[in-house]
């Protein structure tokens, strides 16, 4: 058996290949990751709930099957975000309302993952109900960025991103409404991929036809994210938006990199301030593509209505999803949650109709934009990781924000378009903090997107070669 640290340093693709060749077992990987968690977790607080007995029981049952019948992940351990129910495992949603909640059934996505040979060993930390791009809550406290523990890991998939960066996971599950897969990936130097709505089936909740939220993979490399997306994807009748499998695998696309012909770059999408250092790092990364023969132009679709449309549609989603909690437990909700739910409850029909019309126009413009470009590149986040003591980013480059979510506009504007978007590492600040590039493709264009991203990965030369120890 390889040494524990050697196993931790493997890519997810390499670990799965080792599992399929039976050079290592799922139980050995669980032993390795449990030891790594014991070493690292007290310093970062990223995986507050562990379930290794359940994981070992599942792994043993999986090992009773022939290797060829163990699924795409073949026994690879991973954490599930604490907004997503896992049967028999404490799931708190980052809220004291659910501090002792033990679900009796798993979310669709957990069934999908376990059906493809994923072994769930714990839950990753989130902000309360995923609200806000900073992972802290009243149940488990603050999650720390491993590149500088005084800084935010962002959110809401903050625990997932930290677990990857520190080698406490090979892949990690996340979800994204306004940047929750992408922004933590940028802050922690990993890959976070929000696919097109419906690409990954999930429990739809009370907003059955909502296009705002999406489930997706997080990993340390583009190929690892593609591998996990293969395991996550597929149609499920319980999710009416879910899409059928494509004839080609996402991993095969990532394993066959292709140079894009023409990409657009925008530091701000015309809608947000950006920290000058972040803008310069991302622009320099885009210019590296010019050196590889890619046409790079400054351009972006017209997303000028994104702020108004997203504020309304998100508030509607929050009122539908969390209105009863505000009614029954107002003293247990954080101020940002209360504000967002109350905003939704006050919405008028004309406001909703206008927001839906704006979203339709944003989608139409974005599809037309990709008739001229293979990709749109932007910074994933407008700032580098910020101090833990801030609840959210209040200002950037001299501009103060009105709400707790305004600083996430460069991500949530893309949410509205339904375009798939991933964050990949593209550089570091002068103080050594990671910066991510948001790579956006035509709606449902994930195969091309992954092939292009795999080409860009060595050009940017910022991907984690091995997990880091918290600093």
CA pair distance 145, 409, nearest whole angstrom: 22
The 3-state DSSP class for residue 124 equals: strand
- Report the Cα 448 to chain-centroid distance in Å: 19
Residue 72: partners with Cβ closer than 8 Å, 6 or more residues away: 16, 116, 117, 227, 230, 231
CA pair distance 193, 161, nearest whole angstrom: 12
CA pair distance 213, 272, nearest whole angstrom: 22
Q: Where are the alpha helices (DSSP H) in 153-207?
A: 158-165, 182-188
Q: In the 8-state DSSP scheme, what is residue 82? A: T
For residue 428, what are the β-bridge partners? 434
Which one is catalytic: 152, 156, 157, 249?
A: 156
**Catalytic status, residue 81:** yes
CA pair distance 168, 342, nearest whole angstrom: 38
Q: Which of 164, 214, 225, 213 has its CA nearest to residue 189?
A: 164
* In contact, 226 and 186? CB cutoff 8 Å: no
**Catalytic status, residue 156:** yes
Residues comprising the chain, all counted: 471
Which one is catalytic: 95, 163, 180, 423?
A: 180
Compute the C-alpha angle 353/356/360, nearest 5°.
Answer: 140
CA pair distance 144, 212, nearest whole angstrom: 27
Residue 173 dihedral angles phi and psi, to the nearest 5°: -80, 145
CA pair distance 318, 306, nearest whole angstrom: 18
Residue reference for tokens 């920290």: 275
Run of H or E including 414: helix 409-417
Instruction: Count Cβ atoms below 10 Å from residue 398 Cβ, excluding itself.
Output: 6
The 3-state DSSP class for residue 57 equals: helix
CA pair distance 303, 201, nearest whole angstrom: 28
**Catalytic status, residue 95:** no
Run of H or E including 327: helix 306-328
* In contact, 223 and 11? CB cutoff 8 Å: yes
Run of H or E including 16: helix 12-20
Residues with catalytic function = 81, 156, 180
């Amino acid at each position: 058996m390889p040494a524990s640290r050697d196993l931790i340093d493997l890519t997810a693709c390499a670990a799965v290949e080792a599992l399929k060749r039976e050079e290592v077992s799922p139980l050995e990987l669980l032993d390795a990751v449990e030891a790594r968690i014991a070493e690292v977790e007290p310093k970062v607080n990223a995986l507050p709930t562990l379930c290794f007995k359940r994981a070992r029981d599942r792994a043993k049952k999986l090992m009773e099957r022939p290797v060829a019948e163990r699924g795409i992940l073949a026994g690879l351990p991973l954490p599930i975000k604490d907004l997503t129910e896992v049967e028999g495992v404490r799931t708190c949603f980052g809220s004291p309302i659910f501090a002792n909640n033990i679900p009796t059934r798993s979310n669709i996505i957990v069934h999908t993952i376990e059906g493809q040979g994923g072994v769930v060993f714990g839950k990753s930390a989130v902000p309360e109900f995923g609200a806000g791009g900073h992972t802290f809550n009243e149940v488990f406290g603050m999650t720390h960025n491993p590149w500088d523990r005084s800084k935010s890991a962002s959110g809401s998939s903050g625990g997932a991103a930290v677990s990857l960066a520190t080698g406490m996971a090979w892949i990690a599950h996340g979800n994204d409404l306004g940047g929750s897969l992408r922004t933590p990936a940028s802050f922690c130097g990993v890959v976070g991929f929000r696919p097109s709505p419906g690409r990954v089936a999930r429990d739809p909740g009370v907003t059955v036809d909502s296009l705002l939220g999406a489930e997706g993979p997080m990993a340390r490399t583009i190929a690892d994210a593609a591998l996990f997306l293969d395991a996550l994807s597929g149609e499920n009748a319980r999710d009416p938006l879910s899409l059928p499998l494509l004839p080609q695998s996402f991993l095969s696309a990532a394993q066959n990199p292709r140079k894009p012909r023409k990409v657009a770059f925008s530091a701000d999408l015309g809608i947000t301030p950006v920290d000058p250092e972040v803008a310069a790092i991302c622009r320099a990364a885009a210019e590296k593509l010019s050196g590889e023969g890619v046409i790079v132009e400054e351009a972006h679709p017209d997303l000028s209505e994104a702020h108004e449309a997203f504020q309304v549609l998100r508030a509607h989603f929050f009122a539908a999803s969390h209105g009863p909690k505000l009614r029954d437990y107002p003293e247990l909700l954080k101020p940002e949650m209360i504000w967002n739910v109350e905003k939704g409850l006050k919405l008028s029909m004309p406001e909703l109709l206008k927001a839906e019309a704006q979203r339709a126009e944003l989608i139409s413009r974005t599809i037309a934009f990709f008739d001229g470009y293979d990709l749109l590149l932007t910074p994933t986040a407008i700032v580098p990781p910020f101090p833990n003591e801030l609840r959210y980013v209040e200002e950037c480059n001299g501009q103060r924000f009105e709400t707790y979510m305004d600083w996430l506009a460069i991500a949530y504007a893309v949410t509205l378009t339904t375009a798939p978007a991933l964050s990949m590492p593209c550089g570091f600040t002068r103080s050594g903090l990671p910066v991510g590039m948001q790579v956006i493709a035509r709606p449902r264009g994930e195969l091309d997107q992954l092939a292009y991203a795999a080409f860009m990965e060595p050009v940017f030369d910022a991907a984690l070669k091995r997990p880091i120890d918290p600093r």
